[in-house]
């Protein structure tokens, strides 16, 4: 899973990639707003195939939509919903 390159200047994502271990129930990534204005944050998991087609990923991200005020931090939780992880 990778973070989008299109983001607001005040939004900082804790990592560009999340490694999801097969025996884990979830993984998390931090997100912070270094600006002094609020941002509306929307998050989701999306699968992209080798052909470039996109579809549902076997993950769910919570919270899917939230307001992040200036100077605040939050944590996105990524949970596995099924399917097989790559080997």
Residue 72 resides in a domain: yes
Residue 4 resides in a domain: no
Q: Which domain holds residue 59?
A: 24-80
Q: Which distant-in-sequence residues (6+ apart) come within 8 Å of 9 by Cβ?
A: 35
> pLDDT class for 5, splitting at 50, 70, 90?
very low
More confident residue, 63 or 55: 63
Residue 43 CA, chain-centre distance (Å), reads 6
Q: Average pLDDT of 49-70?
A: 85
Give per-residue pLDDT as tens, 18-42. 888 878 889 999 999 999 999 999 9
- Tell me what pLDDT residue 7 has: 53
Question: What CATH number is given to the structural domain containing 28?
Answer: 2.60.40.10
pTM for this predicted structure: 0.77
* pLDDT at 70 exceeding the cut of 90: yes
């Amino acid at each position: 899973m990778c973070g989008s390159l299109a983001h607001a200047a005040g939004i900082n994502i804790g990592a560009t990639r999340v490694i999801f271990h097969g025996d884990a129930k979830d993984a998390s990534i931090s997100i912070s707003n270094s600006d002094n204005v609020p941002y509306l944050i929307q998050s989701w998991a999306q699968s992209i195939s080798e052909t470039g087609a996109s579809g549902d990923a076997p993950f769910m991200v919570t919270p899917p939509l939230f307001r992040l005020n200036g100077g605040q931090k939050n944590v996105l939780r990524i949970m596995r919903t099924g399917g097989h992880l790559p080997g």
